[in-house]
Structure 1
Amino acid sequence: MATHDDGEHYGLLDDVGTYGFALWLRWRGRSEAESVTLPDCPAIAPGPDGEGCCLFAGHIEQHTWEDTLEEISCTS
């Protein structure tokens, strides 16, 4: 999870069985968590093998593939 101190927080619980949606926990600070069903983020990584973002639509910050280190070619 990216470093952050305030705002809403989310944790994935499960797919809900309906294509394009998942069940998430949402909380703010020390408040009680609530379960919410949110649509999947439609973004896909660039390139021929682009993977889909594993977060929900409208999330802030980076897509999930943007948090990984890039592979560096050994021949360049």
Structure 2
Amino acid sequence: MLQCTRVSTLPVGELAAELLAAGHQPVEQFRTYTGACLYVWCELGEHSDGKHADLISEEDVNGEYLWFLWDDNGGHRFEYLPACVADAPDGDDVCHFFRQHPGDHSWKVTDPVMDAMRSEVKRQMRGWQSDG
């Protein structure tokens, strides 16, 4: 299954307030997000419910992680959600989404942009090897 392609802007002021409310160090955490995450993209597999999600912080806060959730109508919120507890059938991976997420688990979701970048890097590496 391909990854959802929905993108949204991240309300940085609201993010700063959320981080402060959760007791994060304001300077370090805010600096991390203001320069790097002005846009977010849905990490979930393709879905038709109009609801999207991007993991904002991998820091475990009482077994939950900060997600930015938004919908196609402009609604959004930050929410701490527990991790999905599903293990991949081969036992080599766990689902990286939140519990009760829509659609397939993360190990079944492929990012076509990342796949294209990996292919390009491999192609270039073959070229470097043949030049030597």
- TM-score, with normalisation over the residues of structure 1? 0.71
Question: In 2 relative to 1, CA 45–5 (structure 1 residues): closer, same or farther, beyond 3 Å?
Answer: closer
Q: Which has the higher contact order (CA 8 A, sep 6+)?
A: 2
Equivalenced residue count is 67
Gaps of 5+ in 2: 4-44, 111-132
Tell me the percent identity: 31
**What CA distance in whole angstroms lies between the structure 1 residues aligned with 2:89 and 2:49?**
30
Gaps of 5+ in 1: 69-76
CA RMSD across the alignment: 2.0
Structure with higher helix content: 2
Q: CA deviation at 1:6?
A: 4.2
Q: CA deviation at 1:7?
A: 2.2
1:17 counterpart SS class? strand
- TM-score, with normalisation over the residues of structure 2? 0.44
Equivalences for 1:1-76 in 2 at 5 Å? 1=3, 2-18=45-61, 20-47=63-90, 49-68=91-110
Report the structure number with the largest CA radius of gyration.
2
